[in-house]
Amino acid sequence: MKKESNIERRDKIVKGLEKAYEKMLEFKRKNNSKVVVMRENKIVKIKP
């Protein structure tokens, strides 16, 4: 029963992170600002 609750908690956290990421991208598009990400161990700024 404890494993099930941990799995459910993890799923809720992942859903929350996905929603936060979508909101961040929406905000960045609205304000026409860049998103900073890491690609191939380099920091890169991209337009959403």
Number of independent structural domains in the chain: 1
Residues of the domain holding 20: 2-46
Residue 48 has pLDDT above 60, yes or no: yes
Number of CB atoms found within 10 A of residue 35's CB: 14
Residue 3 has a pLDDT of 76
The pTM score is 0.71
pLDDT at 1: 56
pLDDT for residue 11 is more than 60: yes
pLDDT digits (tens, 9 = 90+) for 19-46: 999 999 999 999 999 999 999 999 999 9
